[in-house]
Structure 1
Amino acid sequence: MALAAVGGINDGEVEKEDFLAAYGTFELDPSSQAFTTKTPMWFASMTKFVTSVAVLQCIDRGLFGLESSDDVDRLLPEWSQPQILAGFEDGQPELQNAKEKITAGRLISHTSGLAYDFHPGLLLKWRQSRGEGPRAMRGTIPDVFTTPLLFEPGTGWDYGPGHDVAGLMVARANNCTLEEYMRENIFDVLGMDDTTFEPRAHHDVAARLPPMVGRPLPDEPLSDEIASLNSTRNLMLDHKDQYGSGGLFSTAEDYLKLLKSILRNDGQILKPETVDTLFVSTMSPSSDAALNITLANPAMAAAMIPGEPIVGSPGAGEWTHGLLGLIGLISKEGGLQAGWTQWGGAPNLKWWIDRKGNSCGIFATQLSPPGEKRHQPMTHLFQQEMAKRYRRP
């Protein structure tokens, strides 16, 4: 695993030194090469944060609007007339024309109505009614994600491919690939040289990747767990499109550079006034309610808020969602301060930015299964130590 964190700086203050640490080896064999903070990894859903930043840059530059459905009609015509999957009648899907519209803001806050088709539920049943299996990440973005919505845009919350569609919006608005856009406007600006959607072509990243490792779940072979996550990683290595929800490969040191730029509001990536909007909720009351139902599900909570009590249980936190990720609404004693934002990735990675507490950081592994519990206390110990180390006097 690799850990990286840093604090903000006040006017006239000497820049604080980054905290960088890594533990373990590539394989269970202790004689294999050591993990470092420069070790490339598949960052999975940690990609969403970077895609959200790219979307907000385009909004800063006037290329499209955060809440403009007209811009979605112009740049994403495949999603301009969405339908809602209301249920099934005699095994056939019932589709209704949506009354609300998809917007860039709804795409990056998981309130568009789009969902992944590999989760059990209505969308998987819709695929099966067409004689199909899950197709997410197995084709181009328009090919695999022009699916029915699960709710009226803006009225619910469901973890889904909104960032894939939003990344396509960025690419089309700039007449380039998402990789080309991010390299020019984010990666090269901050010196994120080992971050890419193209690990086989860029800096030999693919050849430097560690294998996935894992701890077994009860009654499930360890090899099956690792194979499942590896198969998804392989889809990203040999991708059909540049998926803004999960396609990036990066390092702890690279990723920290972007977190740090947002924490310090240094103007390199986003306008200062835009950064101020990243730590406030974008949710309607009904979307917040749907999010909290999700976080009350033990399986979903284990992956989305690892190590935290599920919503509705004793000691549980309170959560909402913003333009970058989840927002914690209750301060942790000796830890992160209310208003911090965070997200994670399937191989047990996690980032946070805590502006009030003056820290940001990343905890990165290539560990299976998602939400693996035995390591989770380490993420909280790391956050507590960094909150203490970088707290302003």
Structure 2
Amino acid sequence: MFEHDLTDPHEVGLNAERLEAIPEYFQSNYIDTGKLPCVATLVSRGGEVALEDYSGTTHIGEGEPIGPHTIFRIYSMTKPVTSLAAMMLFEEGKLRLDHEVARYIPEFADVQVFDSGNREDYTTRAPDRAMTLLDLFTHTSGITYGFLMQDEPDAIYRKEKIGAPTETLLEMSQRIAKLPLAFSPGTQWGYGHSIDVLGAVVEIVSGQPLDEFFRERIFGPLGMDDTDFWVPENKIDRLMACYSKHPISGEITLADAAGKESKLYSKRPKLLNAGGGLASTVRDYHRFCLMLMRGGTLDGARIISPKTWEFMRQNHLPDGQTIKAMGDKTFSEARMEGNGFGLGGSVLVDPVASMQPSSHGNFSWGGLASTFFWIDPVEEMIAIQATQMMPSGTYPIRPQLQQLVYAAVDW
């Protein structure tokens, strides 16, 4: 586990008293009230950690105190990792963003778009153009998620049990290709299994299982020893419990147990969920973010070129549009207003529209169980927040963290 010393916040232009108030805020408003089991918070500037706090326990109202050792299910914070893996292959000339997905997974050559009907009886039409790898990166592919509960295409995904842990990434991708898209590629922004399909492409192009590629090319060089698609037996006791809050009744229930009782993370899964399968620690993920903020390198390990990272954190949505403009009713792990989308995460293009203090170009994303990160390239600041409560919009802890962190900037 990566160790580090806290810096004096003043030395990096942050207000110590205001930073200290951040854990107190979440303790009194969320942990003491029984809304959350815990909140872990890390804030660094210029690569120096100014705040690292672990408040709460592994279970709501009980359990062991969380700490740097605690392993969290980071769900969609897996997406930036998979996107980075694909761009590493891009740097080697093994794939291009304008390549059609069917070049790697031939079943996508015949993909259709939902036209009318319902999950049992529907008609389709041909897409306006072929789906490209760029569409996968930016969630403009038309591929959806079954849990969205928004339209007939995602109902079809539920019927077909897309995302079930009984098949490989490639097998799931091949089945997705036989189902109707929610829209024609490039015409809308819609959250879905796009990064899972991109993960299958990474496996095909690299010739390696995704977990092996991650360990050899990313986690190993970065010293991210506690990050993987499952938690080995000698670490499983460090995996905390995960909860879910019902959107209507408000009832909080256990979604996945801690430690050895976990149904999802105690052994290597068949489906290496490229869009949401990783478990990690706050310190491990900070290593990942720090590598990106430093232009693709950390402690002598060069992962990608700084120009590639610069390219990844541009807004790649058509005509510079925002997520809001392209997908105003869909689920997102970042605020839609003011955010475009890069290669692996949201990119802030209009801080005023986001209604939050921030910097142009902030790169961020989050996970289903209320984990979140952002990288501010202007202020050279990284913030990471972790707890285990689904869904991610249960409480407004992400904007609240952002308000509190930027309020601590002195210079």
Note whether the superposition's TM-score is higher than 0.5. Answer: yes
Name the CA distance, whole Å, in 1 between partners of 2:241 and 2:308: 38
Partner of 1:94: 123
| Residue 218 of structure 1: how far off its partner (Å) | 4.8
Q: Whole-Å Cα distance in 2 between the matches of residues 243 and 357 of structure 1?
A: 33
CA distance in 1 between counterparts of 2:276 and 2:357 reads 28
Q: Residues 257, 218 of structure 1: CA spacing in aligned structure 2 closer, same or farther, 3 A cutoff?
A: same
Q: Secondary structure of the equivalent of 2:147?
A: coil
1:282 to 304, 316, 327: 316
CA contact (8 A) 1:118 1:136 kept: no
Q: Is the 8 A contact 2:189 2:326 kept in 1?
A: no
Q: Which runs of 4+ in 1 moved over 6 A?
A: none
Structure holding more strand per residue: 2
Q: Which moved more, 1:370-379 or 1:44-53?
A: 370-379
CA distance in structure 1 between the aligned counterparts of 2:155 and 2:119, rounded to whole angstroms: 13
Could you tell me which residue of structure 1 aligns to residue 28 of structure 2?
A: none
Q: Which residue of 2 aligns with 1:41?
A: 72
The 3-state SS of whatever aligns with 2:66 is coil
Greater alpha carbon shift after TM alignment, 342-351 vs 132-141: 132-141
| Structure-1 residue corresponding to 2:325 | 292
8 A Cα contact 1:348 1:368, kept in partner: yes
Q: Please name the residue that 1:11 is paired with.
A: none
Cα drift, residue 133 of structure 1: 5.0
Q: Deviations over 1:86-127 (max 9, x none)?
A: 122896221223241222221011011111123221214435
Matches within 5 A, 1:1-393: 1-8=39-46, 16-17=48-49, 19-30=51-62, 32-69=63-100, 72-88=101-117, 92-120=121-149, 121-126=151-156, 132=159, 134-138=161-165, 139-141=167-169, 142-143=171-172, 144-146=175-177, 147-199=179-231, 202=232, 204-213=234-243, 217-223=247-253, 226-227=254-255, 234-235=263-264, 239-267=269-297, 268-285=302-319, 288=321, 291-292=324-325, 294-295=327-328, 300=331, 303-305=333-335, 317-331=337-351, 335-373=357-395, 375-376=397-398, 378-384=400-406, 388=409
CA distance in 1, matches of 2:257, 2:367: 11
Gaps of 5+ in 1: 9-14, 306-310, 312-316
CA deviation profile, 1:345-366 (whole Å, cap 9, x unmatched): 1111111111112112211111
Q: Are residues 319 and 178 of structure 1, via their aligned partners in 2, closer, same or farther at CA, if it must alter by over 3 Å?
A: same
What's the CA shift for 1:385? Answer: 5.1
Aligned 8 A contact 1:124 1:133 in 2: no
Q: CA deviation at 1:213?
A: 3.7
For 2:92 and 2:204, the matched residues in 1 are separated by 15
Q: CA deviation at 1:254?
A: 0.2
Q: Percent identity?
A: 25
Cα displacement string for residues 223-278 of structure 1 (whole angstroms, at most 9, x for unaligned residues): 2xx43899xx8456563310110010100000010101111115421111111112
SS of 2:56 mapped into structure 1: coil
Q: How many residues align?
A: 357
| Aligned-partner Cα distance in 1 for 2:385–2:130 | 36
SS of structure 1 residue aligned to 2:95:
coil
C-alpha RMSD of matched pairs (Å) = 2.9
Question: Kindly tell me: are residues 295 and 34 of structure 1, through their superposed partners in 2, closer, same or farther at Cα, counting changes over 3 Å?
Answer: farther
Q: What's the offset of the Cα at 1:343?
A: 0.8
1:23 is paired with a residue whose SS is strand
Q: C-alpha deviations, 1:17-53, integer Å up to 9, x for none?
A: 46422111112345x3211133111110110011111
Q: Which amino acid aligns with 2:217?
A: N
| TM-score, L = length of structure 1 | 0.81
Whole-Å separation in 1 of the counterparts to 2:237 and 2:133? 35
